[in-house]
Structure 1
Amino acid sequence: MDLNVWWLAYPVLGAVVGFFAGLLGVGGGGIMVPLLTTLFVAQGFPFDQVVHMALGTSMAGIVLTSMSSLRAHHQHGAVRWDIVMGITPGILLGTFCGTFIASRIDTLPLAIFFSAFMGYVSLQMLINVKPKPSREVPGLVGLSAAGAGIGGVSALVAIGGGSLSVPFMTWCNVKMQHAIGTSSAIGLPIAVAGTVGYMINGWGAPGMPPYTLGYIYLPALVLVSAVSMAMAPVGARLAHTLPVPVLKKIFAGVLISLSLKMLHSLLG
């Protein structure tokens, strides 16, 4: 099949990512990485690079969506900028270094780590885990250390960090709506540092297809992002009419299924 024909799949993926992002307030990495990996394998892209390309492309896509989410939460006064300022240095360092670690991990172990983490995220959704507030927000050193850990894991699984930063802030006695809003702001430095890191680490990698910028596959990035940004408001509007708790459980099942499909395509 001609490569340009495969590009028709990317707007469909963008519609799904944008819809669920608006409906459930979740990032698209859990959907994008396994589906992009499967599409890249089907297109015959270098096997050793397909997961890295999916991670880099997903991370680049988060830049635009996190900017939109950040603006919306800031307008509602839900962003704790003191936390953002304190945690960002660690976020930038952890995410950037995390891309170097990811680039040195083989495709299959990286896919297994991603799938295991998506299993953790899905379990959070299924049982609706909310850590009990047990301490206050730490100082600069503590925030930087937490940011480095959140950023490092986010780089390995191409997420905006919400599944880690929201529980962390809730644990630190930050109100849930502020934790979610602040997490959206933290997603931007994660996305920027991750994008730069995956561009650098993929630069000059052997056998890469045309239209790549490091590990970022530009056709997928442009087509997925354009449609997902248009669909996010549709999902947000439906969030007030659809049974979101039920949909979260369905979405958790979808994440697990997609991760297993990715592993099957790689093992196959």
Structure 2
Amino acid sequence: MFDVDPGQALFLLAILVATGGVAGIISGLLGVGGGIVIVPVLFFVFLALDISEAVRMHVAVGTSLATIIFTGFISARSHWKRGSVDMDLLKSWGPWIAFGVVLGTIIGGNVSGTVLTLVFAIIAALVAINMAFKPADNVTPKPMPKTPLKQILSTIIGLISVMMGIGGGTLAVPILSFFTYPIRLAVGTAAAIGLIIAIPGSIGYALFGLGAEGLPPFSLGYVNLAGLIAIIPTSMLTAPLGVKLAHTIPQLALRWCFAGFLAITSIRMITSLF
């Protein structure tokens, strides 16, 4: 199962290294952790290596979460230096996001991957439409959600994100933007939210995968250390570049960039079902 010729191994390694670079830029630019790129690439790499279908997606998700720890830290630190991380919001939402992560890690192993993919694709499409066609930032501000809506939204962010192996930005940025939260501050805060999701999430996937059959070589549960080592150097290197872009391009362009990103994500997920 694991016989791979040197040429194929080098090609797959190059793909992972390049993926890390792209994921780092996306992480800094959009605050999403890069998992939305890493998960499908890892899935197809494991497919090429003939890894068992029973564990293929689990390992892709677990490994992606582990990479977000490193990329998210660099991205969040870069945003924090520019004053675009809301620490008060992190303190308020963080515990409930972590609660959602715990629930999502447990539920993820018992829910059909097809159902999860379809639900997320629909949500991503709706969010993309909202981001693309919402009024300009000078509209009447909407108050930030209070109890219990605040707890519900933050729990959902953690729950869905950890089941998909992504940072919190895919949901956190549109949700915060809906309440007319400044887009750059939303992106920077979402990068920090990715750490709250990735650390317990990757630990959970590692523990739940211990002893599983058919894991690829060099795996700690559902976290593949070889894939992790291949991805994180370039992702950490390019994350500050994404942050610089986020603070350079116009806010309207940044919003459209995020909407386009989500639209592509939604289409990719739906087509993957067929």
Q: TM-score, normalised by structure 1?
A: 0.81
- Once the two structures are TM-superposed, the CA of residue 54 in structure 1 deviates from its matched residue by 0.9
Match of 1:83 in 2: 89
- Once the two structures are TM-superposed, the CA of residue 200 in structure 1 deviates from its matched residue by 1.6
Match of 1:168 in 2: 175
RMSD of aligned alpha carbons: 3.1
Distance in 2 (CA, whole Å) between partners of 1:83 and 1:152 is: 18
Query: Which of 9, 19, 23 pairs up with 2:15?
Result: 9
Are 2:48 and 1:42 equivalent residues in the alignment? yes
Helix, strand or coil: the match of 2:217? coil
Indicate how the Cα distance of structure 1 residues 91 and 78 shifts in structure 2: closer, same or farther if over 3 A, else same.
Answer: same
Cα deviations by residue, 1:79-111 (Å, 9 ceiling, x for unpaired)? 222221121111111112201211223454444
- Once the two structures are TM-superposed, the CA of residue 51 in structure 1 deviates from its matched residue by 1.1
Q: Counterpart amino acid of 2:191?
A: S
Distance in 2 (CA, whole Å) between partners of 1:234 and 1:228 is: 10
Indicate how the Cα distance of structure 1 residues 246 and 206 shifts in structure 2: closer, same or farther if over 3 A, else same.
Answer: same
Q: Counterpart amino acid of 1:169?
A: L
Larger mean CA deviation between 144-153 and 110-119 belongs to 110-119
Are 2:191 and 1:181 equivalent residues in the alignment? no
Match of 1:232 in 2: 239
Cα deviations by residue, 1:34-74 (Å, 9 ceiling, x for unpaired)? 11111111111110111111111111111111111221222
Are 2:125 and 1:157 equivalent residues in the alignment? no
Match of 2:142 in 1: 134
Q: Counterpart amino acid of 1:197?
A: G
Tell whether the 8 Å contact from 1:10 to 1:223 is kept in structure 2 after alignment. yes
Indicate how the Cα distance of structure 1 residues 182 and 234 shifts in structure 2: closer, same or farther if over 3 A, else same.
Answer: closer
Structure 1: gaps of 5 or more residues: none
Tell whether the 8 Å contact from 2:29 to 2:187 is kept in structure 1 after alignment. no
- Once the two structures are TM-superposed, the CA of residue 176 in structure 1 deviates from its matched residue by 3.2
Structure 2: gaps of 5 or more residues: none
Aligned residues: 263
Q: TM-score, normalised by structure 2?
A: 0.80
Q: Counterpart amino acid of 1:191?
A: A
Distance in 2 (CA, whole Å) between partners of 1:106 and 1:130 is: 38
Tell whether the 8 Å contact from 2:31 to 2:75 is kept in structure 1 after alignment. no
Match of 1:209 in 2: 216
Larger mean CA deviation between 220-229 and 158-167 belongs to 158-167
Tell whether the 8 Å contact from 1:35 to 1:262 is kept in structure 2 after alignment. no
Distance in 1 (CA, whole Å) between partners of 2:193 and 2:50 is: 35
Distance in 2 (CA, whole Å) between partners of 1:153 and 1:130 is: 28
Indicate how the Cα distance of structure 1 residues 205 and 105 shifts in structure 2: closer, same or farther if over 3 A, else same.
Answer: farther
Query: Which of 200, 206, 221 pairs up with 1:193?
Result: 200
Are 2:37 and 1:31 equivalent residues in the alignment? yes
